[in-house]
Amino acid sequence: MAEPAFSLCVYCGSKEGDQPEFAASAVQVGQWIGQHGGQLVYGGGRNGLMGIVANATLAAGGRVVGVIPRALVEKEWAHTECTELHIVETMHERKQLMAERADAFLALPGGIGTFEEFYEVWTWRQLGYHNKPIGLLNLNGYYDTMLSFLNSVVTHEFMGSWQMDLIQTHSDAKQLLPNLVQAAALPTPFQSESI
């Protein structure tokens, strides 16, 4: 199999959520990755949006790299049909390997695990540990209240607007995905403003 054109790390829920659009967007993201010769890097589960995006990527001819801690193999039902399935010992190893294998990051709707992973790669970027683009799919306004809170953090001067600028946000996956992949291919200087 040829080397993938890009490698996108997707964070998303291990449940499907309450709106059919959430599952439909996971299918759309997976199909787009596969149709554009890409590789999905994700948490290795077969349930919820995680399983949906992985299955859609595989069905569209893309590679899928799953990374799952041993303790979650049964709880999250490890996806044994991944192109590569890495079983690691800790969540720290999981997140590090996922970040290393990715050219860009995308958060779909999800719960506390999705939030934690998204915030971590965002923190790493503002600290200069990586310079990979980060996207947030704000489907049906799912992240509206979070984004409102984050803007209030800027207003209260605990964060700068440049930190918000490190996130690409869109409600349409087909608009957001090309932007992330294009940004991943362009070397840009690290953010130099003080933290």
Give the total residue count for the chain: 195
Task: Give the confidence band of 19 by pLDDT, cuts at 50, 70, 90.
Answer: very high
pTM of the model: 0.93
Judge whether 134 lies within some domain: yes
Cβ atoms 143, 169 nearer than 8 A: yes
Judge whether 194 lies within some domain: no
Q: Taking 70 as the threshold, does the pLDDT of residue 38 lie above it?
A: yes
**pLDDT score of 185:** 84
Judge whether 2 lies within some domain: no
Judge whether 65 lies within some domain: yes
**pLDDT score of 103:** 97
**pLDDT score of 191:** 42
**pLDDT score of 60:** 98
Task: Give the confidence band of 63 by pLDDT, cuts at 50, 70, 90.
Answer: very high
Q: In terms of residue numbers, what domain contains 44? A: 7-162+169-184
Judge whether 191 lies within some domain: no
Judge whether 189 lies within some domain: no
Q: Domain count of the chain?
A: 1
CATH at 17: 3.40.50.450
Judge whether 123 lies within some domain: yes
Among 138, 134, 182, CA closest to 25: 138
Q: Lowest-pLDDT range, 68-82, 95-109, 156-170? A: 68-82
Judge whether 193 lies within some domain: no
Distance in angstroms (rounded) separating the CA atoms of residues 5 and 192: 29
